Amino acid sequence: MALLVQGEIVSHMERAPGVFMVEFIAPNLATVARPGQFLHIRCSEGNDPLLRRPISIHAVDRDRGRVGILFQVVGRGTALLARRKDGVIDVMGPLGRGFSTGSHNLMRAGSIAVVGGGIGAAPLFFLLQELARCGDPARVKVLLGARSANQILIKEEIENLGYTMELATDDGSVGHRGQVTELLLKLLPEGVSYVYACGPAPMLKAVCAFLSEAGIPGEVSLEERMACGVGACLSCACQVKAAGGGVHYRRACVDGPVFPAGEVVW
C-alpha cells in the first residue's frame, strides 16, 4: 500500500559533487518503508519533465518521522529536484519489493557482505540501519566503490552504525585501486553466506557471476526507466529466469527493484 505524501523538506545538502541528500517529514511513510523500496518523486510542478523519478529510500528516522533520499543529478528531473531546497516534495511510496532482511538471512552461519558502487550506496544505508537494529554489525562487511575518494558516499554514517568497511576507487585515491567487485571476490571465500548489492549494471553483473560461481545466495537492486511505478504500465521490464526454465519479463517496480542474484538475466 503506497502513500501519496507532500513531505516538508527539512534538510538539503550537496554531499559530493552532483550528489544531493534531502530529508523530508513523512511519519507514515517512515513507519511502513522497508530497505530497498523506492519513492516515485515529482520533480517539476508543470508538465515538463513529465514523469516522476524513481529514487531509492536512503535513510529512515522513525522516531522523528523523517525520510531521506540521496541521489545523483543525471538529467533534467534530478537537476530540478536538487534545486528544491525547502517547501514540500510530492512523493509516492513506498514502492516495490525491497531487500529481504528476515531472520532467515541474519541467522545464517557466516558473514554478510553489503556491496555498493557509486550512488548505489544510497539504498544500502537504509538496509544497514535495519541490519544494525535487528542483527549484529560485527557480522557484516561493507564494501563501497566509486570513481574517486570524493565520490565515496556516507562513509562516516556507516561507520557510526558500527560497521567495518573496505573501499575501492578507480583512481586509487582511497582504498583498493580498482573495482569494488575485486574486494568482494577476495572476501567471498572467507565465510560470506549472503550478499546484498546495489550499483551500476556492470558491477551487479559481476557480483551475480561471482555469487553463482561460489554458490552463495544474494540480492541485487536493479535500476530501470519507469513510468507508473505501480506495475500498471509495463515500462520497467527486466529479464528474469522463469521458474520452469527460459526467461521472462518482470516489472522492476513491483516484482523488484530487488531480485535474487541468481534470477537476473544479464
Partner 1 sequence: MINTTVNLGGIKMKNPVATASGTFGFGLEYQQFIQLEKLGAIIVKGTTPAPRQGNPPPRIAETPAGMLNAIGLQNPGVNKVAGEIIPRLVHLNTPVIINIAGDTVEDYALVANKLDGVPGVAGLEINISCPNVKKGGIQFGSDPRSAAEVTRAVKAATKLPVIVKLSPNVTDLVAMAAAVAEAGADALSMINTLLGMAIDVDRRKPVLGNITGGLSGPAVRPVAVRAVWQVYRAVKLPILGMGGIMTTRDALEFILAGATAVAVGTANFVNPRATIEIIEGIENYLREQGFNNINQLTGLAHAGI
The residue ranges that bind partner 1 (CB under 8 A) are 1-2, 4, 42, 47-52, 77, 92, 224-238, 248-249, 254
Sheet bearing 38-41, strands edge to edge: 53-56, 38-41, 88-95, 3-16, 19-25, 66-72, 59-61
Least distance between partner 1 and beta carbon 1 (Å): 5
Polymer length of the chain: 266
- The Cα–Cα gap between 237 and 260 comes to 16
Least distance between partner 1 and beta carbon 33 (Å): 15
- The Cα–Cα gap between 248 and 263 comes to 10
Among 112, 107, 99, CA closest to 142: 112
Sign of CA dihedral 35, 37, 43, 45: negative
Contacts 24+ apart (CB under 8 A), 231-234: 231/255
Least distance between partner 1 and beta carbon 119 (Å): 18
Residue with Cβ nearer partner 1 (52 or 66): 52
Least distance between partner 1 and beta carbon 185 (Å): 29
Residue with Cβ nearer partner 1 (138 or 233): 233
Least distance between partner 1 and beta carbon 48 (Å): 4
Residue with Cβ nearer partner 1 (54 or 117): 54
Nine cell digits for residue 133: 537494529
Residue with Cβ nearer partner 1 (4 or 10): 4
DSSP SS3 for 227:
coil
Least distance between partner 1 and beta carbon 231 (Å): 5
Residue with Cβ nearer partner 1 (11 or 239): 239
Residue with Cβ nearer partner 1 (189 or 246): 246
The pair phi, psi for residue 220, each rounded to 5°, is: -125, 145
Place of cell 519479463: 249
225 neighbors 217 (Cβ within 8 angstroms): no
Residue with Cβ nearer partner 1 (203 or 253): 253
Least distance between partner 1 and beta carbon 116 (Å): 24
- The Cα–Cα gap between 207 and 180 comes to 10
Place of cell 517496480: 253
